[in-house]
A and B are shown apart, each in its own frame.
Chain A
Amino acid sequence: MMLNPIIRREAKTSLRSWKMFLAIALYTLIISGAAIIFIKGVISGGYMGVDLRGLSILYAVLGFMQFAMTMIMVPALTAGSISGERERQTLDILLVTKMTTFSIVIGKLASSIGIFLLMMIATLPVFAIVFFFGGLSLFNLLIMEIYMVVVSVMAGSIAVFFSTFFKKTVSSIIFTYILLGILCFGTLIFTFIYIAYCNSSVDVNPSMVAILLTNIVNPGVGFANIIDKQLGTNLVTSFFGYWIEFTPAAKILNNYFLIINIVINIIITSIFTVLSSLKLKSTNN
């Protein structure tokens, strides 16, 4: 078994590139900076000792920051993967080799996710401190980081797809953000329109099941669901309206929300990966 040659090459070149170094440094700085400011606040605020509940909030905040930066950085890192080869005029050479378009796409996706993993590892010490004092289990962190990887791979697959589609990297970045925006915010807007509609009519009550189903693809709600489970909060239900009846069916759906969400993310990833390799294979461009 040979390592995908694209991963090997990208690993070599990106570790030599100062831009990549800068991106990782910046990311680490933002996460650890936020942690330091927060911890300082907690320490000076407490009269005697440190309020440990504050650290679990910090966990949520840092987790959210990591999540948001995944959604912003992964498209930026990945959207140039194919269009960049096209702009650099190396794509044709790659396409005549024995690599299948599928392994080219996988190689590209894995390379940019690799950079993101590097960023995650770089900030691991910060998360470790929060864990050490915050009383959370390592298992919790694992679930959180696995979810981050799933979401980043999904975002990356969309970015690769647009990258095979557009000649310019800029266009693929923009379209990736638009599609991710629809997944994260479009579903929310749709949900609130639905709730508003229910409120305006006398005999229809909003159903939590319908709301959860609408947001089943939403990575942001998936993230909030993890926080709810790990910290015992009610971010999701209170966000949509705590007054909406939390029926037994909604409770069951809420319990399996994360699993379904992850499965859907993986399906989206697979679809876009296959579409990308088909697009690359079609020789009529």
Chain B
Amino acid sequence: MLTIKNLVKKYGKFTAVDNLNLHINKGSIYGFVGPNGAGKTTTMKIIAGLLSATSGSVMINGEEVVKNPRLLREKIGYMPDFFGVYDNLKVTEYMDFYAGTYYIPYKERKDIIDNLLEIVDLTDKKDSYVDSLSRGMKQRLCLARSLVHDPELLILDEPASGLDPRARVEMKEVLKQLREMGKTIIISSHILPELAEMCTEIGIIDRGKLSAEGTVNHIMQQLTKKRIINVKPFENNEKLIKLLSEKPFISEIIENTDDVEFAFDGDDKKLSLLLKNIITEDIPIISFKEKEGNLEEIFMQITGGNENDA
């Protein structure tokens, strides 16, 4: 559906997007994650045709965006990170205006608008003025607006930012519905866990570069070369510690009061052999498990660290 090749965007000497490559399949929900200033908005604006790239190309269904902007506008729905609404305009009129900007015939508009307001749960706000809506409602209205021409690809730039937990949940519900409708969605956020559960794929962008890509699980494996293993011995640790410290693929052994944690470098087979080894050495253990990676920690690990050299 969407292919980005060697995308570069420079603002003067500053490179905001640095040779970005990505491919998004039809029907996927692609989470575009990165810290502030990573280049998410810049990339999304280029896809939407609002910014021109310094070099590289963006293709939708094999067609270059810059070569056929009008046709591609039909296919893209875009929700910017920051947006405003007009004064003195009611919700239905707001929707009607944008239906007009896509030249949707008057007689078709009512059904489309009613249906979209239903999806974003704003039906009972139909006749309210848009500037009187709450932030969460405005965000959902803007999402409905981006759907008015039934686009195939939705570009949502931090649709949940600035929302309270409840409004976030509501926004997520709407996105789930869109996924069921078969839309291809790119959604950005600077919080990885927020996206993890609803995305089919995730791309992590940092300083204009894609630093990891794939399914959530894939990313975790890619990033956590060292796996953290937690073992609970029965009674004393000494024998266990001795055994572990002899292995070259084990490091960072931490002795807690009733368990031992260590970093393990290897695949599942190696891990099973280790367990076998412990048991044949007659060390009694009551549990042996791999610690679940924490998304937030991983995210901090990839993107953090060198914040200060920017």
Q: CB within 8 Å of B: which residues of A?
A: 2, 5, 8-9, 12-14, 16-17, 88-90, 92-100, 283-284
B234 smallest CB distance to A (angstroms): 63
| Across-interface contacts of A283 in B (CB, < 8 A) | 49-52
**Are A96 and B70 in contact, with the CB atoms below 8 A?**
no
**Are A96 and B100 in contact, with the CB atoms below 8 A?**
no
Chain-A contact segment, one of B74-82, B119-127, B183-191, B193-201 = B74-82
Which of A12, A16, A98 is in CB contact (< 8 Å) with B149? A98
Q: Which residue of the partner chain B has the closest CB to A15? A: B88
A-B CB contact pairs (8 Å), 25 listed: A5-B100, A9-B86, A9-B100, A12-B88, A12-B89, A16-B88, A17-B87, A17-B88, A88-B84, A88-B85, A89-B82, A92-B48, A92-B50, A92-B80, A92-B83, A93-B98, A93-B142, A95-B50, A96-B48, A96-B73, A96-B78, A283-B49, A283-B50, A283-B51, A283-B52
**Are A90 and B51 in contact, with the CB atoms below 8 A?**
no
| Across-interface contacts of A16 in B (CB, < 8 A) | 88
**Are A94 and B101 in contact, with the CB atoms below 8 A?**
yes
**Are A9 and B83 in contact, with the CB atoms below 8 A?**
no
B14 proximal to A (CB < 8 A): no
Q: CB within 8 Å of A: which residues of B?
A: 45, 48-52, 70, 73-74, 76, 78, 80, 82-89, 93, 97-98, 100-103, 105-106, 142, 145, 149
Interface of B is mostly: loop
Cα A168 to Cα B197 in complex, Å, equals: 42
**Are B74 and A98 in contact, with the CB atoms below 8 A?**
yes
Cα A94 to Cα B50 in complex, Å, equals: 10
**Are B98 and A13 in contact, with the CB atoms below 8 A?**
no
Cα A5 to Cα B101 in complex, Å, equals: 6
| Across-interface contacts of A94 in B (CB, < 8 A) | 101
Contacts A8-B97, A98-B70, A98-B102 known; 13 new A-B pairs at CB < 8 A: A2-B103, A5-B97, A8-B100, A9-B86, A9-B93, A13-B86, A17-B87, A90-B86, A92-B78, A96-B48, A96-B50, A97-B101, A98-B101
Q: Which residue of the partner chain B has the closest CB to A89? A: B84
| Across-interface contacts of A5 in B (CB, < 8 A) | 97, 100-101
**Are A93 and B100 in contact, with the CB atoms below 8 A?**
no
A98 and B103 contact, Cβ closer than 8 Å, known pairs A5-B97, A88-B86: yes
| Across-interface contacts of A93 in B (CB, < 8 A) | 78, 80, 83, 98, 142, 145
| Across-interface contacts of B49 in A (CB, < 8 A) | 96, 283
Most A CB within 10 A of own CB, among B70, B80, B87, B100: B100
| Across-interface contacts of B93 in A (CB, < 8 A) | 9, 12
Cα A277 to Cα B93 in complex, Å, equals: 26
**Are A97 and B102 in contact, with the CB atoms below 8 A?**
yes
| Across-interface contacts of A88 in B (CB, < 8 A) | 84-86
A284 and B51 contact, Cβ closer than 8 Å, known pairs A13-B89, A93-B145: yes
